Amino acid sequence: MKDRRLSALRSYQSRLQDSGSKLECITKVNKKILKSNKVSDVASYKSELKDFRDIHTDVDVKIPSLNSNTVQGSELSIELGEYKATLIQSSISSLTDEVSILSMRKLLGKAKVIATIPSRIKPLGAVICIGANEAWTQGKVNLIRRIDMHGSLKEKITTECKQYPNDIEITRQGELIYSDAKSRTVNIFRQGRLETLITLPLGWHPLGLCCTRSGDILVSMYTPDGSHFKIVRYQGQTAIQEIDKYDWGQNVFKGGVGGVFVKENNNGDICACDRDASTVIVIDKTGRVRFRYDGTPARRNKPFQPRRIATDSLRQIIIADFSNDCLHILDQNGQFLRCIDNCELQSPVGLSVDSVGRLWVGSFNSGEMKVIQYIE
């Protein structure tokens, strides 16, 4: 569209320049006639003003009109000239609510434990909240359990893993998915049945999972010898992005036995917990590393051992520090804010934020979960 408009405008500009040159010549001639004493020159003069008044002042360029339907909750169609697009319309109120939350909520001066819940899984791995009062739990057993705030078992799923699920997550539709490193699959519990959702290429095994706000699935994966880790973004069963190396070829993640676990922040950043490097790496949507956090600003007594990671409505990054029995809280730009170290946490691993903004923290050894209020 731009090229066509420019072509028409340049043609019009050329015509104007030609007319301008002719006008300059005519003006010079007219000035000579005015200064002349020859009656014949004046008598024979013929005005050309009419010819120039007839020059078209409007350019043959039509500005395309923008047409759209704006029915809230439906697909939004937009037409710009001959170009058409269909978009999914977001709720303006939800954006307003998010801005309101970001502007009004802040960290409590002192975090407090709301509840202590037995998970019945030892050792405990992942904790994924469902709403405000329940969470799925996973560990080194072949079961995934759903437990409420009072410790009551609401549901249990026996997986088809040869060993045990490596991580669990909830899709935007509320369906449970889990990774199975042995079978190289990501599986989904749908309508009471287990189905294979993604099968990884040969030579790669899945570990950490994250369902993004757009509906994509982030899968951290590793090679059998543990020498190489990467994060792959899937749309359905199609890999559309790989986070693997820096521009100069160096690996982003350190190899080893600890692995990489991943969460998406509300600003679209990918927050990765690289256990082998004892580092949290934050990556933007394009796959560029924004910053790394190694625990130094928290000034803890023991070496930083990040195990799991979560994000909240304030776009803060919460990190479970296994060796120091505490949680580190960073802002979205990597600025250290504080540690939660007054809740008698023990070897925290599982980490999730519920729908009302409370942290559910799982203890690796005891299998207990603590629900912590840390935001006003």
Nearest by Cα to 199 from 168, 229, 236: 236
Contact 321, 305 (CB under 8 A): yes
Tell me the residue range of the domain where 184 lies.
Answer: 106-375
Give residue 15's pLDDT: 80
Give residue 333's pLDDT: 95
For CA atoms 24, 25, 28, 31, give the dihedral sign: negative
Residue 155 lies in a domain: yes
The domain total for the chain is 2
Lowest mean pLDDT among 104-108, 111-115, 192-196, 318-322: 104-108
Residue 234 lies in a domain: yes
The Cα 202–Cα 160 span in angstroms is 20
Quick one: how far is CA 105 from the chain centroid? 22
Same domain, 135 and 256: yes
Contact 347, 365 (CB under 8 A): yes
Give residue 14's pLDDT: 82
Residue 211 lies in a domain: yes
Residue 89 lies in a domain: no
Same domain, 284 and 151: yes
Nearest by Cα to 332 from 275, 279, 269: 269
Lowest mean pLDDT among 39-53, 266-280, 354-368: 39-53
Q: What percent of the chain has pLDDT over 90?
A: 66
Residue 342 lies in a domain: yes
Same domain, 50 and 126: no
Same domain, 298 and 178: yes
Same domain, 16 and 137: no
For CA atoms 136, 138, 144, 145, give the dihedral sign: negative
Contact 150, 135 (CB under 8 A): no
Same domain, 156 and 51: no
Domain C-terminal end among 21, 40, 58: 58
The CATH number covering residue 208 comes to 2.120.10.30
Same domain, 123 and 23: no
Q: Is the pLDDT confidence value at 22 over 90?
A: no
Give residue 33's pLDDT: 84
Same domain, 47 and 138: no
How high is the mean pLDDT of the chain?
88
Same domain, 24 and 135: no
Same domain, 204 and 320: yes
Residue 209 lies in a domain: yes
Q: What is the 3-state secondary structure (H, E, C) of the chain?
A: CHHHHHHHHHHHHHHHHHHHHHHHHHHHHHHHHHHCCCHHHHHCCCCCHHHHHCCCCCCCCCCCCEEECCCCCCEEEEEECCEEEEEECCCHHHHHHHHHHHHHCCEEEEEEEEEEEECCCCCEEEEEEECCCEEEEEECCCEEEEEECCCCEEEEEECCCCCCCCEEEECCCCCEEEEECCCCEEEEEECCEEEEEEECCCCCEEEEEEECCCCCEEEEEECCCCCCEEEEEEECCEEEEEECECCCCCECCCCCCCCEEEEECCCCCEEEEECCCCEEEEECCCCCEEEEECCHHHCCCCCCCEEEEEECCCCCEEEEECCCCEEEEECCCCCEEEEECCCCCCCEEEEEECCCCCEEEEECCCCEEEEEEEEC
Exposed / middle / buried, residue 137 (Cβ in 10 Å: 0-12, 13-18, 19+): buried
Lowest mean pLDDT among 60-74, 212-226, 346-360: 60-74
Give residue 234's pLDDT: 97
Nearest by Cα to 322 from 351, 296, 358: 351
Residues facing residue 134 across a β-bridge: 130, 148
Residue 69 lies in a domain: no
Q: Is the pLDDT confidence value at 370 over 70?
A: yes
pLDDT in tens, 213-255: 999 999 999 999 999 999 999 999 999 999 999 888 899 999 8
Same domain, 112 and 47: no
Same domain, 41 and 170: no
Residue 355 lies in a domain: yes
Q: Is the pLDDT confidence value at 197 over 50?
A: yes
